[in-house]
């Protein structure tokens, strides 16, 4: 286990990825709750808040991939394994696209649902992963130069 091997960019990306994972369980979208009588005569309530995982949307799988890719260097460092030279590029690219996708959902919310706190925190966390990945790329380039 050698956490000191982690660069500043890798730490930023890993911490942001963990934050994004936790944020994914907060409410991302919401719909006004409506209570009515169901087919069997019982009371039925529809609407409420949805986390990223509850919304019918492959976006959750995409952000999970982003989180896993961002955590690869940290996991390798803790496991004492080798480097993952393509990880910073993959992290930056996937997280940047993820940030664009979340931003798009903020602007054009699916099915005109309400925007909830998780959506905005997720946007910042994904942007954090992007910045961390970009810093890692720069650190790698500097290391190669000297």
Partner 1 sequence: MDTGRLSQGQMIAAVSAVVLLVAMFLPWIGVDAPDVPAGVPVPEGLGDDSQNVWKGSSIDVYLLITAIVAIVSALLAVSGGAEEFSFFSAATFLLGFVGVILVVVWLTIDFPDDSERKYGAFIGLAASVGIAYGGFKAMQEEVAA
Q: Which 5-64 residues touch partner 1, going by CB under 8 A?
A: 56-59, 61-62
DSSP 3-state assignment of 70?
helix
Please report how close the Cβ of residue 115 comes to partner 1 at its closest, in angstroms: 15
Q: Token pair of 12, please?
A: 């930023």
Q: Are 45 and 34 in contact (CB under 8 A)?
A: yes
- Binding partner 1 (rule: CB under 8 A), the pick from 15, 18, 26, 93 is 93
Nearest to 22 by CA among 118, 104, 95, 91: 118
Contact range with partner 1 by CB under 8 A, out of 31-39, 72-80, 93-101, 112-120: 93-101
By CB under 8 A, residue 84 contacts partner 1: no
Q: Judged by CB under 8 A, which stretch of 12-20, 27-35, 76-84, 100-108 contacts partner 1?
A: 100-108
Nearer to partner 1, 94 or 126 (CB): 94
What DSSP letter does each residue of 9-61 carry, written as one string?
HHHHHHHHHHHHHHHTTSEEEEEEEEEEE-TTSSEEEEEEEEETTTSSSTHHH
Say whether residue 89 binds partner 1 (CB under 8 A): yes
Strands 27-37 and 43-51: antiparallel
- The residues binding partner 1 (CB under 8 A) are 56-59, 61-62, 65, 86, 89-90, 93-94, 97, 100-101, 104-105, 110
């Amino acid at each position: 286990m050698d956490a000191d091997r982690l660069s500043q960019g890798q730490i930023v990306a890993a911490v942001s990825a963990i934050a994004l994972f936790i944020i994914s369980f907060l409410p991302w979208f919401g719909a006004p709750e409506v209570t009515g009588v169901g087919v069997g005569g019982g009371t039925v309530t529809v609407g409420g808040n949805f986390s990223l995982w509850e919304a019918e949307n492959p976006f959750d799988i995409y952000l999970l991939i982003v989180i896993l890719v961002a955590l690869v260097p940290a996991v390798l460092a803790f496991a004492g394994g080798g480097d993952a030279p393509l990880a910073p590029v993959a992290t930056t690219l996937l997280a940047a696209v993820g940030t664009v996708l979340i931003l798009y959902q903020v602007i054009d919310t699916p099915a005109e649902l309400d925007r909830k706190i998780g959506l905005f925190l997720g946007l910042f966390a994904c942007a954090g992963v992007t910045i961390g990945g970009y810093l890692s790329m720069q650190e790698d380039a500097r290391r190669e130069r000297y």
